[in-house]
Amino acid sequence: MAKKPQDPAASQTAPIEIDIASIVVPKNRLWETKPDSVDLLADAILENGYITPIAVCAADANGKHSLIDGAHRFEAAKQLGRGSIPATVFSGGKLQQRLLEIDSNLIRRNMTQLEEAVYLAERERIYNMLYPVAKHGGDRRSDQVAKFATWSERFTKVAAKHSGGSERSVQLALWRFSKIAQDVRARISGTWIADKGIELDALAKLAPEEQREAVDLVLSGEDGAPKTIGAAAKIVRGVRDDRETDPNDRLLARLTGAFDNAPARVQADFLTYLEQEGRVVLPGARNKAEAA
């Protein structure tokens, strides 16, 4: 069974006004703020005021509060020139603070599927640190596999509850995160690929170097570039890149491909047609096709 969390008990105050100058944004936040979202929030605050307070840590020795949740609201308040902002003050361990940041975003934000995978993977990491698996006797591989399966199921159920999704969706998101290389995740962040599950799945099935090449092809913006990761994967894995092939070569490839895939009778009829038209004489090829 899992151990109890090692962090001290967490608590959160009712909303109070906090000086904006006393709030600092940690550098290790999972995602950067989006200027467009900040602008929209600033307009909303002007019209309706603050709907949801931000969350900050208790003040440190220098009187500074570290921001936990509400980076866009915080930036919008600064943009409006506000001196303070409603906030709840969170007391608890660093890991619990991180969980609060993650869960608040999972529940509220309109994330892309890639962002959700990143948040869930970080949540799994923090959760496993808070609730380490108790060690049991025996070191057989079957025992380890069984314990891992039980643990994984426990986490995905908890994560599904917090994210508002299904357990299957959590498992899929974690699989995507584990398979897509970190630099590739950064490359596709902010692009249309980041919110297309079928494209993320296609990427996850490729080796890291293939992922990089496939993404470069799809996002190249060049005429004739593949429109999907699946199409790019075929090029990367050996199908000739149409952009680097002479149009006549592409036409020849289509013709020969159609001939090779046609039934033997159709091949024979086609060769007969070529001979009757006086375009070519291929006795060896014709006899071979007829014999088939």
* 1-109 is a CATH 1.10.10.10 domain: no
Of the candidates 10, 270, 228, 14, which has an alpha carbon nearest to the alpha carbon of residue 130? 10
Residues with Cβ within 8 Å of 258's Cβ and at least 6 positions away in sequence, in order, are none
Q: Would you say the C-alpha torsion 153, 157, 162, 163 has a positive or negative sign?
A: positive
Q: Is the pTM of this model over 0.85?
A: no
Of the candidates 35, 109, 123, which has an alpha carbon nearest to the alpha carbon of residue 70? 109
Which tens digits make up the pLDDT trace of 77-131? 999 999 999 999 988 778 887 877 777 777 665 678 898 888 888 888 888 887 7
Residues with Cβ within 8 Å of 201's Cβ and at least 6 positions away in sequence, in order, are 176
CB atoms within 10 A of CB 116: 23
CB atoms within 10 A of CB 125: 13
pLDDT above 50 (res 257)? yes
Q: How is the chain split into domains, by residue range?
A: 1-109, 111-179, 194-243, 248-291
Confidence of residue 282 (pLDDT cuts 50, 70, 90): low
pLDDT above 90 (res 149)? no
Which amino acid makes up residue 292? A
pLDDT above 80 (res 195)? yes
Task: Give me the mean pLDDT over the 201-208 stretch.
Answer: 94
